[in-house]
Chains A and B, each alone.
Chain A
Amino acid sequence: MEKGTNITVFIRRFDPEKDPAPRQQQYTLHVERGMTVLDGLHMIKQTQDPSVGFRFSCRMGVCGSCGMMINGVPGLSCNTQILDVATTALTLAPLPNFNLIRDLVPDLVPMFGVIKGLQPYIQRNDVEEMENPTMEYFQTPHQLEEYLQFSYCIKCGSCMAACPTMATDKEYLGPAPLTQAYRYNTDSRDDAGDARRDLVAASHGIFNCHYAGECSNVCPKGVDPARAIQLMKKDLVLRYFGLGKHKCAHLCKKPDRSTYKPKIEAAPFTIGQ
């Protein structure tokens, strides 16, 4: 049985009803191997201070709720083990470059609004076909690879907190929304690249990024927003000069299955039989 170790945890506290500005509070926490930062916060809340505010949901690095500054670096508290990042002291603070609601809870809603504004969904010129599809859209595995990496974003806001441009320019769109715009721009099934171009290339847009690269360093899902942003700049320049391929995926007729005979017969109770 491992005994673990005691570490000092400094948590940035902010109560909008009482505090004019955030303050720091100190706790002593008994840490054992395998304990995540989120586990530690639960332990503090259960045994020492029930008023500590933090946000979490899935506890497995999928939902993106528990992003926070862990020893000065943005990350998810649920997939960061305490002993990996701290031996004697652990400092927790809310993600910067967002408004602060309470303690470790930043307000991510403006970021979601920006993402929504950049039309992160597939749009096609043939509206009728899009709304009432009659056929499938053809897409090769290579075309899938072009955007797949950027579709893993969980909107945790870590990249926004690490971005030095976000720190000074509140109007800047930010790495997460720009990555989502690129994800749909580069999807071969999408037709709305020109509409998004006017949104992302505007003032406070994509060209405010100067490749500090920190968004890619801190991304807990390996999405690499810095790469998406640079590739999108290239795409925008090519579009401006009327170069590059911007062909939309063609419709692919569904194979006729009426005469298809499977090698293994479907069970008689299978739905659709």
Chain B
Amino acid sequence: MDNKQYDNHLGIIGWLGGGRWGVERYLYILHRVTGLGILLFFLIHIFASSMRMYGPETWAAAMAILKNPIFKLGEFFVFVAFAFHALNGIRLILIELGLAVGKAEEPIYPYKSSLNNQRPLMVIVMVVVAILIIAGGYNTFFGSH
């Protein structure tokens, strides 16, 4: 095999980078990014909760830091990530079980694909995500607590 070939795999840019792609590909990127964000939150959450091990004073100090408004914004972002990831995940489960992609059909130009079949589901899911984000944002920033 010729070893002078150039490795043209795109790497991280290949899935994180933008381009003239369809909506579903951007949802794919967001799904991964929100998943990683939720994982990061989980680690921070475990770390913050573990402060309780070091006694009430350390715990109280940690809680005082978390009172900072920036953490409230962070909390909102975690909720946004959760709402998107959970609902888009349900959409992906339905699709990956072959429930919203339609049946094989004769390709006639201009071609339609399974993306057209699942688009109503995608639109409904994104509308629900938007409603949840608005409700969550209202509750986070203007709620009574």
The residues of A with any CB-CB pair to B shorter than 8 Å are: 14, 16-17, 21-22, 71-73, 94-101, 106-107, 145-150, 152, 162, 164-168, 170, 186, 210-214, 216-217, 219, 221-224, 226-228, 230-231, 233-235, 237
Contacts and interface: CB of A to CB of B under 8 A. Distances in A.
29 contacts: A22-B6, A71-B20, A100-B6, A106-B8, A107-B5, A146-B104, A147-B104, A148-B104, A149-B104, A149-B106, A167-B11, A168-B11, A211-B28, A213-B24, A213-B113, A216-B114, A219-B111, A222-B108, A224-B104, A224-B107, A224-B111, A224-B113, A224-B114, A226-B113, A226-B115, A227-B113, A227-B117, A228-B104, A230-B114
A210 B11 CA distance: 17
A17 B104 contact: no
B2 A101 contact: yes
Given A149-B107, A233-B96, A98 B101 contact: no
B19 to A, nearest CB: 5
Nearest to B110: A222
Among B11, B13, B113, which residue has the most Cβ atoms of chain A within 10 A? B113
Nearest to B13: A167
A234 B4 CA distance: 41
B5 A99 contact: yes
Interface residues of B, number: 43
Nearest to A213: B24
Contact of B20 (A72, A166, A224, A226): A72
Given A167-B14, A167-B15, A216 B113 contact: yes
A166 B104 contact: no
Contacts of A231: 98, 101, 104
Given A227-B101, A234-B97, A170 B9 contact: yes
Given A71-B20, A99-B8, A101-B5, 9 more contacts: A16-B2, A22-B6, A149-B104, A164-B15, A211-B24, A213-B28, A222-B113, A224-B113, A227-B114
A227 B104 contact: yes
A244 B134 CA distance: 42
A221 B106 CA distance: 11
B57 interface: no
Contacts of A98: 8
A68 to B, nearest CB: 12
